[in-house]
Amino acid sequence: MERLLPDQVEIDSLIDKLYRQEAGKLIAVLTRFFGAEHIELSEDVVQDALTEALSNWKVNGVPENPSGWLYTVAKNKALNVIRKEKNRKAGTSDIAHFLDSIWTTQPALDYFFSEREIQDDQLRMIFMCCHPAISADSQIALALKTLCGFSIKEIASAFVTCPENIHKRLVRARKTIRDHQIQFEVPVGNELEKRLKAVQETIYLLFNEGYNASGGDMLIRNHFSDEAIRLTSIAVSHVAIKSKETTHALLALMLFNSARFAARTDEYGNIITLEHQNRLLWDRARIREGFIHLQKSHPHQFVSKYHILAIISSYHCAASSFESTNWIGILHEYDRLLEIDDTSIVRLNRAVVVAKVEGAGQALAQLEEIDDLNDYHLYHSVKADLQTQLMQYLAAIDSLQCAYKLAIIPAEKVLIKKRMANCKKKIQN
């Protein structure tokens, strides 16, 4: 096999890329080998394979097929584990015995590492990570670690906590899997539909962490949102899941929203609001894909919050300009959303649209009826925007000061400071 000349920076970059792309797939397959209770062993084997790749490639150069090399090493390490554990303590799954025979080992490896089986195993992993017995915060941490290839440090940074807290969440999740004997499988029948809702919720939380980061230095984390889209694509294309309408709607929503990422910040990471975005930067191919999945969701048959949010986002994507946006249609969708998801966040977002349709005064009156978002910076930011439209600049500055204290992302703080400066100029003029 031809070898490329080794370059330390290139090798480090390639290893990182491989970990992102392949670790989740390998961990899923190996968990099927070792059993759900040994998920940490699967992670260790993959990490060992990557460490070996880093060491080997520094000396011998990068192989022509790095992914294939990594898979081969991971397979061999898995076989070594199974063969050392003759009593099957680390290989308790119903397929492990196929890997301990000279007659069946190679055919079994070819089968279980086939593209179709890897996709099936990733879906099994999704359902295992999102089991209702596992707490919500631990579900997301486990999914990010095992399915998406994020390090504990990266997960901690994303959720503005220390690595030790994320480690504890992962320990709790793995203990829950063992204690509840959670199986590495896709549930069937009514249990599948019930569990699918938890999967959708976890994936949507993951997407939102990429769309509007809750912490760290960046407003947008494309890799989080891309992973959420990838995991949803696996679910929506799998033959085991029959009722896919809501999953199609979720995928459409994420495609519409992510299509606008490139226009949401400038080259320095500063926020560009929807009104001032360059719509030529929107990903039209992704928007078209979003409409395809929205059509497949059949929203006239069953309406979930994902259907309505996808329709709202589609209105934005379809508008040629901010001014031509169908605000009346969007307000109608928010009214429908309130019927099934009457939360303060929905009412906050609806108030923004009310301002476009009925005026800022009406919107501000409705906003002031929300009494449980005083610790949320966007509540004060929206309030300031409405006050500015009503030329209540002193009140707007007060609201912006509250928003500034509560905001975490540096880019959000920069935007708030600019808005405060504009209000002060209005007062002076």
Interval 130-139 mean pLDDT: 88
Task: Provide the pLDDT confidence category of residue 201 given band limits of 50, 70 and 90.
Answer: confident
- The residues that bridge with 4 in the sheet, in sequence order, are 62
- Structural domain contains residue 358: no
Per-residue b or e along 365-377, where b marks 16 or more CB atoms closer than 10 Å to that residue's CB: ebbeebeebeebb
Interval 394-421 mean pLDDT: 93
Domain count, the chain: 2
Q: Which one-letter amino acid corresponds to residue 100?
A: D
Closest CA to 388 of 355, 344, 412: 355
Does 189 lie in the same domain as 72? Answer: no
Stretch among 57-66, 116-125, 209-218 having the lowest mean pLDDT: 209-218
Does 236 lie in the same domain as 121? Answer: yes
CA torsion 326-330-335-337 (nearest 10°) is 160
Q: Where are the alpha helices (DSSP H) in 218-319?
A: 222-237, 245-258, 261-264, 284-296, 305-318
Q: Does residue 309 surpass a pLDDT of 90?
A: yes
113, 135, 163 - which closes a domain? 113
- The residues that bridge with 63 in the sheet, in sequence order, are 3
Report the alpha-carbon distance of residue 212 to residue 221 in Å, rounded: 8
Does 61 lie in the same domain as 38? Answer: yes
Interval 45-63 mean pLDDT: 86
- Report the pLDDT value the prediction gives residue 219, as an integer from 0 to 100: 43
Q: Does residue 142 surpass a pLDDT of 50?
A: yes
Q: Hey, CA dihedral for 426, 427, 428, 429, is it positive or negative?
A: positive
Does 161 lie in the same domain as 68? Answer: no
Does 77 lie in the same domain as 96? Answer: yes
SS3 304: coil
**C-beta of residue 183 within 8 angstroms of C-beta of residue 166:** no
Q: Does residue 60 surpass a pLDDT of 60?
A: yes
74, 89, 113 - which closes a domain? 113
Does 192 lie in the same domain as 123? Answer: yes
pTM listed for this prediction: 0.80
**C-beta of residue 19 within 8 angstroms of C-beta of residue 35:** no
- Inter-CA distances, 12 with 6, 17, 226, 329, Å: 10, 9, 22, 50
Stretch among 16-25, 93-102, 123-132, 300-309 having the lowest mean pLDDT: 93-102
244 compared with 387, residue with greater pLDDT: 387
Full residue range of the structural domain in which residue 46 is found: 1-113
Does 169 lie in the same domain as 106? Answer: no
Does 183 lie in the same domain as 88? Answer: no
191, 208, 243 - which closes a domain? 243
**C-beta of residue 105 within 8 angstroms of C-beta of residue 77:** no
- Structural domain contains residue 303: no
- Report the pLDDT value the prediction gives residue 94, as an integer from 0 to 100: 61
Stretch among 82-86, 99-103, 233-237, 374-378 having the lowest mean pLDDT: 99-103
412 compared with 154, residue with greater pLDDT: 412
Q: What percent of the chain has pLDDT over 90?
A: 46
